[in-house]
Structure 1
Amino acid sequence: MTTIFDDIESEVQSYARAFPVIFERAKGSYLYDTDGKAYLDFLAGAGTLNYGHNNDILKAALLEYIQNDGITHGLDMHTKAKQEFLENLNNYIFKPRSLEYVVQFTGPTGTNAVEAAMKIARNVTGRHNIVAFTNGFHGVSLGSMAATGNSHHRDAAGIPLSGVTHVPYAGYMGEELDTIKLLENMLEDSSSGLDTPAAIMLETIQGEGGLNTASNEWLQAVEKLCRKHDILLIVDDIQAGCGRSGKFFSFEESGIKPDLVTMSKSLSGYGLPFAVTLIKPEYDTWKPGEHNGTFRGNNHAFVTAAAALKAFWSDDKFEKELKAKIDHLSMRLRKIAGGYEKNLIKSKGRGFMQGLECRDGELAGKICRYAFDKGLVIETSGADSQVVKCLCPLSISLDELNKGLDILEEAVHKTLAKELSAAS
């Protein structure tokens, strides 16, 4: 029996293929299908729902705003909702971290923020090249796609992607190769073929790239290199930001201060489209309207974002609770993988961006399918979809976290038992 989705939805759909049910409602850490079956959500809108589905605090703020006929669409006009968001961002995030940024409201998704960051870096420096890293993911519009490593996305462009040079990420060639030393040598060698870039753009944790992580020392070395060569540093915090790493910004522990930061996904806190580019004031050289977007004024997102900042980031309570859950997640994943050879499965990642790297994508896919049948929504990532990625809400309870990890543990053990039995 075909459905309306089979009849008229594009073949481009992706997650629907992995989770072939019709979801009807959601609350907290759970999704519910039309038959009423509950699924623990370890996908969380690909990192968009850090505070869970329909968070009561954010929902109340949004409902009150709508009931009072608050502005929905404001372009870049000044509104009360935008004012409160900016005040909360400044008071709860920038000032406590001694950060100075101006906020550019871009189009509503992460790729819009990345496009803006790349454009302003080029305009400020007068250079065209951007350095990005292997396994990076920055979006699928043409500029951000040029900085994305994955050929599955790049091949869909239909035209050559230019203006970006890709270099090895931290640990890409193993511990024996210092990738920043390699980059520094290329910058200082006039015959290396590397045009001095306008910016270096990176993720501190490569979510779609397979949960690859950069050390604090590596990030500090990148920043030092940028300062030495007058290159702007862009941190793409679209998925790793808003607490996903354990801190509000994923770069906080390293002590670096990027020139530009891109944010989206969980910034609204409620799954509403919202993206910004944070710019050090000295680089805010835009002419009025030079970069714009019709939906850069989503005031409903401003309302929930302001409420989220106040509820979760006005003190350190949420961050401390988050650290305890991250430590527990790390312990459980190490235990799950511990009974097997590392070339078969191993734990990796940082913060609430952790998971299990499998021998190959086929094995990871089998684990995820088993887990879904048992009521756990969880996806894969990595160049070959070989990493099972835990991306649950940060607000998940310890009991819910353990319940999901119990399902994942069963999925791993059952799947690997079949694999090892077939191989013997």
Structure 2
Amino acid sequence: MTITQSSTSPSVHDLVREITAQSKLPLETAVPLPTRTYWDHDFYELELENIFRKDWVCIARCEEVPDPGSYLAVDLANEPLIVVRGDDKKVRVFSRICRHRYEDLLGGQRDPQERRSGCVERFECPYHAWTYRLDGSLLNAPDMWSRPSFDAEAFGLRQINTHVWQGFVFVNLDEQTPFPFDMSGIERVQGNYDFTDWRLAANIAWGDSTANWKIMVENFSEAYHHIGAHMSSAQEMWPLGSVEIGDERGGEWFYSRMHVAAAAAVDEVDGHLIQPTWLPSQKGLSPYERSQGLLVLKFPTFMLLPAPDVTFWFRATPTGPETHHLDIALMVPKSNLAAPDFDRLITEAVDFFRPIQAEDASVNEKIQSTAKSQYSSGGVLHVHEQPLWQLQKYLASRLPASSTAY
């Protein structure tokens, strides 16, 4: 379907003003995002500039760079980055752009979403052999010392604002970091969960999807579709009627608790039905915490599904107005890495999850395919779609309602 924007079509900032107005509605009368936000190129560019270049975005786990010299190449908002563990064992993130004439230190990537990794003693630009230490400082710039004014200390790799939270590596591309890094609310609701000592056990490389990133985030966060898309899968384990919407109603984060169905429970302890597991639960979890799967979303794209023994971490990266790239990592407590029959049990966990994700991906792409229809408007939200309303609050808080740039 091809739509030609007419002179009466709303501008990108008209869309922002519409979202802002919608975000102020009470939840009971909330409505979905304007579908134009799922495909408008100017709106997408506004998001890149004001969200993915100015807010905190999770790009890696510390264990992905386990040793000094370990690195991981990541692209975010068209910026080539590299996550590095230094000789001092500290994890840093740098721009991959050489300070000389802007070559990618890793020679560029055919696929920007390819997460290349390795281990080196230093980084050498393939163009003119400028060489950088693991802390980003310039080690060698061939013959540049013949230039009297050359100051090597001024030409280290540009370091990206980085914050490590329980093993997750967050970055902010804005040097002024206009938004504070705050996970205190999530720490409150996650209770005894602590992901510092969890480790990656499997990766589901879902790949590219023809759906806007917001469609994916909205689908991830609401459980209303358990009674439709997941009627024969997630609904049997976590029925909609047992999903507890969190008490957070702001525009920064969302959570819900998906309590296990009585028919699926494996035990009852202190009045709490216990959710089945593949591996031993994280030590220290209460019977209440073992009765549920937790869903955590920190806008824009930090998404976790913690369960007592495994956690699924969603890594969604916008790649265009109508596309995103998705990797899903399965994490386990470090102590479970030595569990008997570990590989088989992890395979079972992935096999349980994969068809649920396939159902979600199919729905997401179908929503994208109808987003340009003249009839894709006038919808309403169910109370279980509260996170969609909160996403609107987030967008309204980050996107400018006027600019000379658009």
Question: What's the TM-score once normalised by structure 2's chain length?
Answer: 0.33
Higher strand content, 1 or 2: 2
Higher helix content, 1 or 2: 1
